[in-house]
Amino acid sequence: MNYIFLSPTIPEEILTLINGLDSEKSCGHDDFPVRTLKLSKYLLAPLLSNVINESICDGVFSDNLKIAKVVPIFKSGDSEIPANCRPISVLTYFSKIFETVLYVRLNDYFTKSNLLSQQQHDFRNNHSTSLAITDLYENLLHNLDKNTYHVRFS
């Protein structure tokens, strides 16, 4: 059986993540502004690092970090019609930091363990929609050249 080891985070990693937060983005349901987080980052980074490490060790993700503020974003047309808006979920900055710490570790594990399909392009470094389209195009050309591609219309 394979086991996964998630390395603990350190305050320096948390500081890097805090510095990378977009100051223009809206804050979550806790109304904790990114400016305050950035001003108190040297105080909060060790605390967040400790909380995240404890949470990973215990296998518990706080219910408060799962709450999102849903905000309607206007698409087009009459702004008074709700169908012309799309909802977006805004998480707290603490949720975003935790999520990024986990993403980095899980992505590293899946990549090193070769668990992702070569056709998996989303959420992978050095992969993009353009690369997926290029792969599809090359596959189609290859199969057309070998006359192994069949089109069915239903």
Q: Are 41 and 21 in contact (CB under 8 A)?
A: no
Residue pLDDT, tens place only, 127-141: 777 777 887 788 788
Residue pLDDT, tens place only, 57-108: 999 999 999 999 999 999 999 988 888 999 999 999 999 999 999 999 998 8
Looking at residue 80, its pLDDT comes to 86
Region 17-45: mean pLDDT is: 94
Looking at residue 136, its pLDDT comes to 76
Identify which of 90, 109, 86, 123 has the alpha carbon closest to the alpha carbon of residue 21: 90
Cα–Cα dist 1/22, whole Å: 41
Per the prediction, the chain carries an average pLDDT of 87
Instruction: Give burial (CB, 10 Å; 0-12/13-18/19+) of 24.
Output: exposed
Q: What percent of the chain has pLDDT over 70?
A: 89
pTM: 0.75
Q: Are 95 and 25 in contact (CB under 8 A)?
A: no
Q: Are 92 and 29 in contact (CB under 8 A)?
A: yes
Looking at residue 154, its pLDDT comes to 46
